[in-house]
Amino acid sequence: MNFQKTTIREVMNPEPTTIHAGAPLSEAATCMFEQDRSCLVVCLDDPAQGWGILTQKDLLGVMADVGAHLEGLRVAEVMTHPSVTLPPHYDVGTSIQLMRMLGVRRAAVVEGDELIGFVSFTDLFEYAMETRDQAVTRD
């Protein structure tokens, strides 16, 4: 398995689930639950401001603090901003090291100001396991 020959573009999810920063937190929670997502990429009014991220962990923290009532709260109040972003040409090995160094499990994949994908440690682990199985099969 050669992490330096594979780019993030090849491993990323090209259809990340997004939500606007001004959306109600209850809408974000429903979206995550119904679409079986552990996080959402948050779109800001100005793409030059970068991207945000809202995770299940963020939502659970709010629920534990204020109870299950998310009414009146907006995504922007809870999201992590700015989120870590990766360019699509980064190789998998570099991306893993960068994400580990920054202590994040997920990153938006951005080309210019455009969100083109999303990658998580789960995606990278699945890629590593699939690649490992292919390498073993070829021997």
- Note the pLDDT tens digit of each residue in 72-113: 899 999 999 999 999 999 999 999 999 999 999 999 999 988
Give me the pLDDT at residue 105, please. 94
The closest of 114, 100, 120 to 51, measured between CA atoms, is 114
Looking up residue 125, the CATH number of its domain turns out to be 3.10.580.10
Domain membership flag for residue 1: no
Q: What percent of the chain has pLDDT over 90?
A: 73
Pair of tokens at residue 108: 């938006």
Task: Give the length of the chain.
Answer: 139
Strands 114-120 and 106-111 turn out to be antiparallel
Domain membership flag for residue 66: yes
What total number of domains does the chain contain?
A: 1
Domain membership flag for residue 126: yes
Give me the pLDDT at residue 139, please. 47
Give the CA angle between residues 122, 123, 129 to the nearest 5°. Answer: 85
- Asked whether 38 and 55 are in contact (CB, 8 A), the reply is yes
Give me the pLDDT at residue 70, please. 78
Give me the pLDDT at residue 134, please. 63
Give me the pLDDT at residue 1, please. 59
Average pLDDT of the residues in 20-42: 95
Question: Considering just the CA atoms, what is the radius of gyration of the chain in Å?
Answer: 16
The whole domain housing 102 covers: 8-138
